[in-house]
A and B are shown apart, each in its own frame.
Chain A
């Protein structure tokens, strides 16, 4: 085609730009919301019995006497290079969160690797056999699992598999030095719980996305060409449903990173959610900010990817006239 830049590239660039802008706004909100909380960093560090003079000295030491937007810029600049500052315990925030983040990512990746293909496959099966027993069974059970709060699902899973049947440990406290098999074994219950929670949403949305495409005239045309029903669903409908499927997958993956807080607490899994809970308990503001920023970045990042996938999956945009 022509040497003019492809519309997809400019669209993707504008989405990425918007994503960065959203992240910037979120960072501003995170920074200011936490800084405007009653009490200052300094008094938090020094405890309630600190003298005003000591607090003032600490504020100067931490640079808290500077205008807030200068502090924001400094914080943001450092964050961009991966330096989230010092936690109140004196250790660098990233050293504190890093291993926890890795644990969360491992938990999330394993869950995602199972959940995404499985839920799309189940969604396709539901769409193919819509109205039949299998579809009704899956629709009802997924609705039930969406409706039940995740901590309750977690406790039910724990009670049945850990307490009654004693198949898996109820605590998922993995440590460095444990063998991989041992780690995986301890992660079974949190993974299972997360699967139950996110599968439902993705299955239902995949089913709905495919069924809405199934109402198109080209689906009837495919049937009139004698295409078997399985191919009609997989070959004719699915490629046109990728956009909506990608966005629900992205939403659930983002949830995996940020929404696992409850699950991690229930199973005492040393992930980033746990770290955030601990930080809130200790009023460790730099850690809270770092966690919030990571969650926000995950959300924005996954949705950005979904946006770009749905743009690229649209042949009208990918192959302009």
Chain B
């Protein structure tokens, strides 16, 4: 079982996995072969449903309930772990091969202090004493650049920030000095400015300890910073595998090329602001949750037919601002002026005509659409409510709206469960359009979608704007999306606007420090971007 230094840490040989859904077995991993040498980092890239996590978990010899191996081998340190019973396989996990999950907040047990959780495996099965394990954890805390490493382990998971917790999970994975770590989208749930810090830490630890890794992500820009080699996965098959520089510069497979979809969208129309009176004007607006002030002195205009991107990290108050504008959250000071007239604070006090003019679309169409209603009913109800349409005329209008969002009559009898993620979001858009609004508040509406689908939906929104003259207040954390669609950009931090202006000005010559930090934190689609950041900091 002792592997020579150059022998692969792990070999996946023609791995086939099937999963059961609706009483049917379907292939989710279809003959994947990958090999990783000591100290090497393989990026595993693909969109949701490509089978990335399933492959990652298979490297630990673990299969989620309802999944089974139908062929192939997982050779960990020279031994095919699919040949041995689960009880034996289990012993490799945590000691020889470890896992870092996407959400550290969910993956840490809330009942234990961080140190106790981190060293549990090492003390139980790693052959370390408590003291030795704590010493090693402390070294890892230092290497991961955690603040106050001596006392860090005494905290409970809920007492530290998301970025720190994510690094704590890396420490937990490293505690037994494993030969291989699986990173499963470790920075996806983090804000961009936090993501940079965690990426730097992860890369430092990988280099310091020379551990081999599989780095799973949907984000090419991220994988370009950490991986030596990239395998692109689609429908459970590796469509392209090459060194990172080659993938970034000369992707060969059409699917790999499509991952640049949003990046390569034509940059939007530019500044169309200042033509006539604004459609919506927010002045001196403040809002509270209990005693906590979420919004302070917000001043903001949205012009007719323009797209204003509202940018900020989680907790910056951007979604709350959206909710205030549509009347779902009461203001505590200032006002929202629409077409020159102040809007009453909450929906209950707004007239049907006012409600009709401003619509909102949410991030998750899964939760925003009633799963038991058909598309006909979902889109038809606002038509009856706002336009008084019934019967054949309503049916006709539903079909028109479906065409507008680039779907067709075959979708009208389906329920949300029978539609794809992108289609569901299109239905949510059609529902908003049914009111015939002048302004649509879009709250992270493409964040849950894959890149290709995201680009399609964004393009459609732009076409709709051209045709209908509707204005968008587009709430997002994704600078790439801002670049593609915005006319103007408003940057928020801690409930305040730190900067606003035309897109070209804000993105190219940011005035506020925070905007600069935010823009600098967005990984470039280029190898070596992170090296640049680290070098700039050292200088």
Say which residue of A221, A223, A315 sits within 8 Å of B110 (CB atoms).
Answer: A315
- Tell me the smallest distance from the CB of B119 to a CB of chain A, in Å: 11
Residue B256 lies at the interface, judged by CB distance under 8 Å to chain A: no
Residue B286 lies at the interface, judged by CB distance under 8 Å to chain A: no
A240 to B158, CA, bound (A): 14
Residue B62 lies at the interface, judged by CB distance under 8 Å to chain A: yes
Say which residue of A218, A226, A236 sits within 8 Å of B95 (CB atoms).
Answer: A226
- Given A221-B101, A315-B156, A319-B159, check contact A226 B109 (CB 8 Å): no
Say which residue of B62, B93, B98, B108 sits within 8 Å of A218 (CB atoms).
Answer: B108
- Given A222-B109, A315-B156, A319-B156, check contact A217 B93 (CB 8 Å): no
Residue A224 lies at the interface, judged by CB distance under 8 Å to chain B: yes
- Tell me the smallest distance from the CB of A27 to a CB of chain B, in Å: 35
Q: B94 contacts A240, CB within 8 Å?
A: no
Residue A99 lies at the interface, judged by CB distance under 8 Å to chain B: no
A285 to B208, CA, bound (A): 81
Q: Which residues of B (131-164) have their CB < 8 Å from a CB of A?
A: 155-156, 158-159
Q: Which residues of A (272-320) have their CB < 8 Å from a CB of B?
A: 315-316, 319
Say which residue of A220, A226, A319 sits within 8 Å of B90 (CB atoms).
Answer: A226
Q: List 7 A-B contacts (CB under 8 A).
A: A221-B108, A226-B91, A226-B95, A240-B110, A240-B111, A315-B111, A319-B159
Pick from A221, A239, A315, A321 the residue with the most CB of B within 10 Å.
A221
Secondary structure class of chain B's binding surface, majority of residues: loop
Q: B110 contacts A316, CB within 8 Å?
A: yes
Instruction: For the A-B complex with A221-B108, A223-B93 known, give 5 more contacts whose Cβ atoms are closer than 8 Å.
Output: A218-B109, A225-B120, A239-B111, A315-B111, A316-B110
A217 to B105, CA, bound (A): 9
B86 to A, closest residue via Cβ = A229
Residue B517 lies at the interface, judged by CB distance under 8 Å to chain A: no
Say which residue of A217, A223, A225, A228 sits within 8 Å of B106 (CB atoms).
Answer: A217
- Tell me the smallest distance from the CB of B417 to a CB of chain A, in Å: 21
A223 to B121, CA, bound (A): 11
Q: Which residues of A (213-243) have their CB < 8 Å from a CB of B?
A: 216-218, 220-228, 236, 239-240
Q: Which residues of B (507-533) have their CB < 8 Å from a CB of A?
A: none
A240 to B172, CA, bound (A): 20
- Tell me the smallest distance from the CB of B152 to a CB of chain A, in Å: 14
Q: A224 contacts B62, CB within 8 Å?
A: yes
Interface flags, B227-264, vs A, CB<8A=1, else 0: 00000000000000000000000000000000000000
Q: B107 contacts A217, CB within 8 Å?
A: yes
- Given A224-B60, A226-B95, check contact A236 B158 (CB 8 Å): no
Q: B94 contacts A226, CB within 8 Å?
A: yes
A319 to B92, CA, bound (A): 34
Say which residue of A217, A223, A240, A315 sits within 8 Å of B103 (CB atoms).
Answer: A217
Residue B125 lies at the interface, judged by CB distance under 8 Å to chain A: yes
- Tell me the smallest distance from the CB of A169 to a CB of chain B, in Å: 47
A99 to B382, CA, bound (A): 70
A218 to B93, CA, bound (A): 15
Residues of A within 8 A of B103 (CB): 217
